[in-house]
Amino acid sequence: MDCYLSLILVWISIIKVFHPVEKIMAEIFFLGTGGSVATKERDNTSLLVSNDEALILIDCPGSVIQKIKKLGFDPRCLTSILVTHVHPDHIYGLPSLVHSLMLDECRIDLYGSEETVVFCQELLDLFRLREEKIKTKINFISLKNGQDLSFASSLQATVLRVPHHSSSLAFYFDFGRENKKLMYSGDTPLYTSLFNSALDLDYLIHDCSAPSRFFKEYPLLYEMHTNSLQLGKLCQEVRVRCLIPCHFFGELDFSLVEIEKEIRQNYKGKLIMPRDFQRISI
């Protein structure tokens, strides 16, 4: 018997040498890439960050459970939810997500500013989704500007305040195993402090709501969002290696070709124009 066991162990060693366990890379999945008004091609902006240690949802608009399943993930494996701010298109799907998982004994950390956390608690309480009978439990964690987070041994993040709403946050991710840095802006106008942190950044996923002509027509947009001409200029100045614009307005008439052309007037780095359900390996 010992002889057979030894042979089996030898064969296992040989298999590991010639068929090593595949390294699971960190990946970003776009559940949506549009603004507050969805179109038939683009839903509200939301992301899924995945590696072999964590599954993180960034913002929680509608149909999140279905979208996560379409990408081949089990929603019960969510480890964290990051909410950038409390505007409806970033948060209205949270009660549905918890309600869908209410029979499963899940533990999910929800991160946001103090204002966001209080809002999320009250939103779930409207539907009695924090009662004892709800098996999925949300652990609420309030964040401060500059705070460091650890989601896994290979995935860290830093919290950054941004202007847009009093609750708004951006996140600077450090994928240690891949030695890559990624920043997600959330909704925001151009913000100098944010771009000071983006010097030589590997990936920047940033608000790019519309071409500049609409901002000239509606100047209030400069206080809330970023246009493609501005974004391209500043990303070139701070030498962002890969720019991924998102949060495209669905209520205005323009094409992504116009967005891309304006960015390319100044930006020379890698440019990815994301689609809903697109995957990007880090």
Look at residue 193 and tell me if it is in a domain.
yes
Look at residue 218 and tell me if it is in a domain.
yes
Q: What is the per-residue pLDDT for 188?
A: 98
> How confident is the model over 39-91, as pLDDT tens digits?
999 999 999 999 999 999 999 999 999 999 999 999 999 999 999 999 999 99
pLDDT at 17 over 50: no
Which of these, 245, 26, 274, lies nearest to 157 by C-alpha position? 26
Look at residue 8 and tell me if it is in a domain.
no
Look at residue 9 and tell me if it is in a domain.
no
pLDDT at 9 over 70: no
Q: Cα dist. 227→74, 216, 234 in Å?
A: 35, 10, 11
Q: What is the per-residue pLDDT for 18?
A: 43
Q: In a 3-state reduction of DSSP, which class is residue 74?
A: coil
Which of these, 197, 199, 202, 254, lies nearest to 227 by C-alpha position? 254
Look at residue 123 and tell me if it is in a domain.
yes
pLDDT at 262 over 90: yes
Q: What is the per-residue pLDDT for 25?
A: 85
> How confident is the model over 124-180, as pLDDT tens digits?
999 999 999 999 999 999 999 999 999 999 999 999 999 999 999 999 999 999 999
CB 154 within 8 A of CB 177: yes
pLDDT at 12 over 80: no
Mean pLDDT of the chain: 93
The Cα–Cα gap between 207 and 219 comes to 16
Q: How many CA atoms lie within 13 A of 249 on its CB side?
A: 19
> How confident is the model over 202-233, as pLDDT tens digits?
999 999 999 999 999 999 999 999 999 999 99
Is residue 89 flagged as an active site residue? Answer: yes
Residue with tokens 């500059």: 146
Q: What is the per-residue pLDDT for 253?
A: 96
Look at residue 106 and tell me if it is in a domain.
yes
Look at residue 3 and tell me if it is in a domain.
no
Q: What is the per-residue pLDDT for 15?
A: 39
Look at residue 1 and tell me if it is in a domain.
no
Instruction: Pick the catalytic residue from 2, 43, 74, 89.
Output: 89
Share of the chain above pLDDT 90, in %: 91
pLDDT at 24 over 80: no
Mean pLDDT of all residues in 254-275: 98
Which of these, 102, 113, 112, 111, lies nearest to 137 by C-alpha position? 102
The Cα–Cα gap between 198 and 204 comes to 8
Q: How many CA atoms lie within 13 A of 142 on its CB side?
A: 8
pLDDT at 5 over 70: no
Please state, as a whole number, how many other Cβ atoms lie within 10 Å of the Cβ of residue 123.
16
Total structural domains within the chain: 1
* Domain containing residue 32: 23-281
**Could you tell me the CATH number of the domain that includes residue 187?**
3.60.15.10
What are the tokens at 146?
């500059």
